[in-house]
Amino acid sequence: MPQVIAPARPRRAWLYLPDGWDEAWKAARAASSATPAWITVLGDSISAGLASTDVVNNAWPARLRAKLVAAGYPWYGDFWPTTHSQDWWSAKSLGAFAGTPPWVVSSANRTWSNWGYGQTPLYTGAAAGALQFTTPYACSALDLVYFDNYGDGSTWQVVLDGGAPQTVTLSGTSGRFKRLAISGLSNTTHTLSCGSQSADNRMQVMGVCTYADPTRGLGLGRVAYPTATLWELTNGQNAPGDKIITWQGFFAGGATGFGFPTQPSLAIIALGVNDCQNPDRGVAQYAHGLRRLVQAFRRGVDNASILLLAPSNPDGVSSDVTGGLFANSDNWHLYLAAMVQIARSYGCALLSLHGKWGELGVAKGVQTATNPHPTDAGHQDIADTLAAILV
């Protein structure tokens, strides 16, 4: 009798899923009906949804969120960085923020600085600074996440829904992340206003956590903004002195333990295009930072699941994307190789959109001829591909 050999499971060259890579995520997802668990996305303009028709709702992280909700998982909450604002888009000459930004950031006496979770608006002058955040959906609790770099008794103020000001005093251990927790709210939309700092640069707001259900469910930490590099999210510039400890949950109470949006059960790292555009830093430094980031996430959550998402970076020669190209795309293969090395060495998953979309992003509808950023269809494809892996 001839031997019958079952066909091997089809392999996808653009996807690497080592055995056990998602154990932490699967366990956290299974327990989410009673205990909060979250995904944190570190990304650049691609993950921020720069070319989408609605940054808040149509970027791939939001579409992945919708997939998780549709699958029946209760929703815990979301983290919204201050870069989700027209002011950041304007500061980088990116045109209009598509859709309604949750943050309104005053540009008066304001300097965006590489601080904390990436870019943070800092203000010069006592009483300077005006930030306003409106929750994108009804929620019953909020956390205002900020950095205390002084601990000197200086102050700034927060106003909830137009009520009486609440004073934030910078005291105790300085150089740490802290949060102002606001709970017991009516389940509706809310507005937070921040300002009235007592001295230069005291108000250092990272963002707001909004909680649909503070007790359980899945959450999404968005730490993605145009121009972001892996370098500026992991280097020693400004504060904290070594940003890598941010992602393990460094805070006023110790080296780890801060919680949402740090210390995720699943981290999706979608960075590298802007690092590649800056050849002064080089691929060796990129690989070094990526390795440290994996280790930091796993200090925060034992064996945290990590997925490396490699964006499409067309070269404009063989690709049908011929305009608006990212600089130095001829070197992108070196960054892809670094991701492969880290994924294999540290048991991370790797999804290569560069491999999946190939040289026909325009023909497939996921990119346009004049812009390598994903279209809405491209964002949907990313979300669908991730959902097939994660849900």
In the chain, ranges of CATH 3.40.50.1110 domains = 10-74+217-391
CB 109 within 8 A of CB 243: no
In this predicted model, what pLDDT tens digit does every residue of 148-164 receive, in sequence order? Answer: 999 999 999 999 999 99
Burial code of 188-209, b = ≥16 C-beta within 10 A, e = fewer?
A: eebebbbbbbbbebbbbbbbbb
Task: Return the CATH number of the domain spanning residue range 99-215.
Answer: 2.60.120.260
pLDDT(3) > 70: no
Distance of CA 50 to the CA centre of its chain: 14
In this prediction, residue 7 carries a pLDDT of 36
Q: What is the rounded average pLDDT of the residues 252-270?
A: 96
In this predicted model, what pLDDT tens digit does every residue of 323-380 receive, in sequence order? Answer: 999 999 999 999 999 999 999 999 999 999 999 999 999 999 999 999 999 999 999 9
Task: Return the CATH number of the domain spanning residue range 10-74+217-391.
Answer: 3.40.50.1110
In the chain, ranges of CATH 2.60.120.260 domains = 99-215
pLDDT(68) > 70: yes
Q: Where are the alpha helices (DSSP H) in 23-176?
A: 23-30, 45-48, 55-58, 60-70, 86-91
pLDDT(2) > 80: no
pLDDT(386) > 90: yes
Out of 148-157, 169-178, 204-213, 322-331, pick the least confident: 169-178
In this prediction, residue 11 carries a pLDDT of 67
pLDDT above 90 coverage of the chain, percent: 90
Confidence of residue 215 (pLDDT cuts 50, 70, 90): very high
pLDDT(6) > 50: no
